[in-house]
Structure 1
Amino acid sequence: MKNSRLIIFASLVLAGILIVQFNQIPNLDKQLEQARADLKQAKANQVKSQTIVSSPKSQQNQVSNSTKNVTLFVDKFSNQPTSTYPDALKGLASQKVINELTQTFAPSVTFSDKAYYDVPLVGLKNAWGSNLEYLVIAKSDTQSVAYTITYDTDEKQVTDMSRLTLKGAFDNEK
């Protein structure tokens, strides 16, 4: 009698363990899929890194084209009225950046019909990866304005920017 109770108790414990294990299968499947996705992303990043390292000429061309696009972007938004930004900057910048320019940057900078902004300096801060970072100076006869700009080489557009304050050599003291 005592042995049969012990066998029944052991059977119930084993059945409980099996039920718990079967309930964990969906979680394990999710973890497996996440691990596969992470592995796929890591392999893609490795291939991209190997491509950059193995073909610096390709990266140099990409940086050169990106610099031209950033220069064009700054030239366009500096020398046009804010009302034309949605059309003029489409394809050069993300919608977020266009909205920020329209609402934030443009009113803080004196853009007039008579002022023309040159872009004498486009400095590359970070040349590796898919997000290139630039320091850009736009200069007119009356003022100079500096921006930090993030350019996404995958999307081929400006994805982030902020205005900097200038002190010293770039101030126009007249």
Structure 2
Amino acid sequence: MRNSRLMVFTSLVLAGSLLTQFNQIPNLDKQLVQAKADLKQTKLSHKKSETIVSSPQSQQDHVSDSTKIVTLFVKIFSNQPTSSYPDTLKGMATEKVINELTQTFAPSVTFSDKAHYEVPIVAIRNAWGSDLEYLVIAKSDAQSVAYTITYDTDEKLVTEMSRLSLKGAFDNEK
């Protein structure tokens, strides 16, 4: 009798641990899927880094193309009325950036006699990674304006932008 009780107790303990293990299978499956996704992302990131390091000419061409797009972006929004921004800047910047430009970043001159802006300086602040950071200066006869711009090379869009204050940077600034 004592041996049968011991066998029943041992069977119940084993059945309980087996049931617990079966309940862990969905969690382990989720962890496996997450680990595979993390591994894939890490491999992709590593491949990008290898490409940048192994082919600096390719990265230089990539940065050069992005610089041309950012320069064109600044020329377009500096020389267009804010009412045309949603149409002219679509596909060049995120909706957030276009809305900020429409509301706050428009040059402080009236649109009827708006001066023509040139973009004499486009400097790279950070050229590594998928987000390139630029310092851009737009200059007209009346004023000069500086911007910091973040360009996402994966999405090929300007994702962030802020206007900087220039004090005495150019002789013709009023």
TM-score w.r.t. the length of structure 2 is 0.91
Rounded to whole Å, the distance in 2 between the matches of 1:109 and 1:43 is 47
Give a deviation string over 1:26-70, Cα, whole Å, max 9, x none: 110011011101111111111111111111111111111111110
* Cα gap change, 1:157 to 1:173, in 2 (>3 Å): closer
Q: Find the counterpart in structure 2 of residue 129 from structure 1.
A: 129
Q: Find the counterpart in structure 2 of residue 20 from structure 1.
A: 20
Describe how 1:15-164 pairs up with structure 2 within 5 A: 15-106=15-106, 109-112=108-111, 113-164=113-164
SS at match of 2:20: helix
Shift of 1:173: 4.7
Rounded to whole Å, the distance in 2 between the matches of 1:125 and 1:173 is 24
Rounded to whole Å, the distance in 2 between the matches of 1:120 and 1:80 is 18
Rounded to whole Å, the distance in 1 between the matches of 2:80 and 2:23 is 62
Q: Which amino acid aligns with 1:50?
A: E
Shift of 1:119: 1.1
Shift of 1:4: 2.1
Q: Which amino acid aligns with 1:72?
A: L
SS at match of 2:73: helix
Rounded to whole Å, the distance in 2 between the matches of 1:164 and 1:124 is 15
The runs of 5 or more residues in structure 1 that have no matched partner are none
Shift of 1:2: 2.6
Which is worse superposed, 76-85 or 93-102?
A: 93-102
SS at match of 1:24: helix
SS at match of 1:154: coil
SS at match of 1:145: strand
TM-score w.r.t. the length of structure 1 is 0.91
SS at match of 2:114: coil
Shift of 1:73: 0.2
Shift of 1:109: 3.1
SS at match of 2:68: helix
* Cα gap change, 1:173 to 1:90, in 2 (>3 Å): closer
Q: How many residues align?
A: 173
Rounded to whole Å, the distance in 2 between the matches of 1:170 and 1:21 is 73
SS at match of 1:90: coil
Q: Which amino acid aligns with 2:130?
A: S
Shift of 1:15: 1.1
Q: Which amino acid aligns with 1:110?
A: V
The runs of 5 or more residues in structure 2 that have no matched partner are none
